[in-house]
Amino acid sequence: MNLIFDAHLDMAWNAVEWNRDLTLPVAEINKFESQFSKTVPAIGDAVVSWHELRRGRVGMTISTLLPRLHRKDGALSHYQSREAAYGACYGQLAYYRAMVAAGHLREISDLASLEDHVSQWSADQSGEASTLPVGFILSMEGSPSILAPSQIEEWYNAGLRILGPAHYGPGPYCFGTGSGGGLKDGGAELLKEMDRVGMLLDVTHLADQSFWEALDIFEGPVLASHHNCRALVPGDRQLDDAQLKELIKRGAVIGAAFDNWMIKPDWVRFVTDPQTVCMADIVDHIDHICQLAGNAKHCGIGTDLDGGFGKEQCPRDLTTIADLQQMATLLSDRGYSDDDVEGIMNRNFLDFFRRAWA
């Protein structure tokens, strides 16, 4: 079984905001939740837990701090004060630290911890029965929790290694998905502080103008943790070819997202049959990027599974995140070499962090 690197999971958000015990198998989580009416329709059956990650040998993740709620009323999904968002992210960080203490997780914050962790997982021969901790690199999706650019150093010292300044709508420093505009007051200073301390930039969710202005200022390593291709699925949530070419030029890796509406055009949440999407459709997005790059070195996996949706919005051949192992076969069937498959499944993101942290 391949070691898998998943570049985007909102794990603490699932545990703290959705009240899920992620130490359990997914079937037990869903059995417990089936007793109750869903308070938010978009919360479907879970597909991710620490148990399922180990079972599928998803031994490395980028896991987020997400300063956002999940409410029926859209306005209530945003914290009404930046200070509350700040407190929420520290609460999510405390959850990750508790999972580290319990042996479920290992925090990866530098080159030495990365190499040691990969070595342990590579030597592990227990397959689905693995009890090794899942490694995570700490990221933040959206920036309301960063009260001023000067606070970047505080967050870096707290373990934050990646920041995606945007999420949905306008943010404090820039614009995100579904909105338009460039960097706001403090946006340039935020990026310069990130450069200064060595925090990496995740361009995911940046509105187009904010994307280009950010790349003009930010000089450090850049990634796109969970993005698909606008050439295949129109809309500002996807990257267009010019953006992809710029990211390739910058040495970025783009993680393929597993949310159905980002995989197939005209897929409508709560309307379109989930059976119309399969994981082979995700390979189309990976292949598009590889054709632009002329190689397979800039593609990875960034599922975003359970990131505000559940099984009802996943490809039909994915029941839990452990099914990511099927991606290796799908890539091979499309003509990718064993070396390219290993790169997409784990090594491209691992090498990205090796370069970034060298």
Report whether 23 contacts 62 (CB < 8 A): no
Percent of the chain with pLDDT over 70: 99
What is the C-alpha to C-alpha distance for residues 83 and 196, in angstroms, rounded to an integer? 24
Spatial CA neighbour of 298 closest among 354, 355, 250, 241: 250
Q: pLDDT band at 27, cuts 50/70/90?
A: very high
For residue 129, the model assigns a pLDDT of 78
CA distance 190 to 343: 32
Residue recorded with tokens 């859209």: 74
How far is Cα of residue 239 from the mean position of the Cα atoms in its chain? Answer: 15
- pLDDT, tens digit (0-9, with 9 covering 90-100), for 112-134: 999 999 999 999 988 887 899 99
* Angle of CA points 282, 286, 292, to nearest 5°: 145
Q: Residue 62 forms beta bridges with which residues?
A: 137
- Between the CA of residue 278 and those of 10, 75, 323, 327, what are the distances in Å? 22, 33, 12, 11
CA distance 22 to 10: 12
CATH code: domain 5-356 is 3.20.20.140
Q: pLDDT class for 38, splitting at 50, 70, 90?
A: low
* pLDDT tens-digit map of 247-296: 999 999 999 999 999 999 999 988 999 899 999 999 999 999 999 999 99
Q: Cα 60–62–67 angle (5° rounding)?
A: 150
pLDDT of residue 1: 86
Structural contact between residues 301 and 345, judged by C-beta atoms closer than 8 angstroms: yes
pLDDT of amino acid 127: 80
CA quadruple 30, 34, 35, 40: dihedral positive or negative?
Answer: positive
Amino acid type, 295: N
Q: Mean per-residue pLDDT for 308-334? A: 96
- The pLDDT confidence band at residue 41, using thresholds 50, 70 and 90, is low
Strand partners, 60: 5, 135
> How many Å is the Cα radius of gyration of the chain?
19
Contact between 219 and 251 (Cβ < 8 Å): no
Ranges of each domain in the chain: 5-356
Give the mean model confidence (pLDDT) for residues 313-338. 97
Average pLDDT over residues 89-116: 98
